[in-house]
């Protein structure tokens, strides 16, 4: 629910959202942010690429996103979708905040998740 496509893109967006810098200005800090994460925390931010990882799956994956999500924009969903090998199970909900589809649209969300997992189980048994 509301996955991001690239951690460095997300961090740059967060800098832009939480400061007076425009996105292009925040992007100038990308190399420094990547280096600081590596030196201070041992994290390789530029290696966290869920969109790229999604392309490795040889079966349909489920993608759920809230269209009005301000933390992780819907463009991340499009980036992930562009990488997958098989057509994904794709649901984009209106009127929900970041990662809240499972609460705000619980009945449909749960039914979709159950259908997806059932299709995966059936596919694995064939």
Q: pLDDT of 1-56, one tens digit each? A: 889 999 999 999 999 999 999 999 999 999 999 999 999 999 999 999 999 999 99
Confidence of residue 124 (pLDDT cuts 50, 70, 90): low
Beta bridge partners of 91: 64
Identify which of 19, 33, 14 has the alpha carbon closest to the alpha carbon of residue 98.
Answer: 14
The residue written with tokens 């996105």 in the block is 23
What is the rounded CA–CA span in Å between residue 15 and residue 28?
11
Closest listed residue to residue 12, CA positions, set 60, 61, 45, 55: 45
Instruction: Quote the percentage of the chain above a pLDDT of 90.
Output: 85
Span 57-84, mean pLDDT? 93
Output the pTM of the full model: 0.82
* 3-state SS, residue 71: coil
């Amino acid at each position: 629910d509301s996955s991001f496509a690239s951690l460095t893109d997300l961090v740059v967006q967060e800098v832009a959202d939480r400061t007076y810098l425009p996105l292009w200005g925040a992007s100038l800090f990308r190399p420094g942010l990547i280096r600081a994460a590596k030196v201070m925390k041992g994290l390789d931010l530029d290696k966290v690429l869920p969109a790229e990882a999604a392309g490795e799956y040889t079966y349909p994956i489920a993608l759920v996103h809230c269209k009005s999500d301000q933390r992780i924009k819907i463009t991340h969903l499009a980036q992930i979708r562009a990488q997958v090998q098989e057509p994904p199970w794709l649901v984009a909900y209106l009127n929900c905040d970041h990662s809240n589809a499972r609460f705000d649209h619980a009945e449909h969300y749960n039914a979709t998740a159950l259908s997806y997992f059932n299709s995966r189980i059936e596919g694995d048994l064939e």
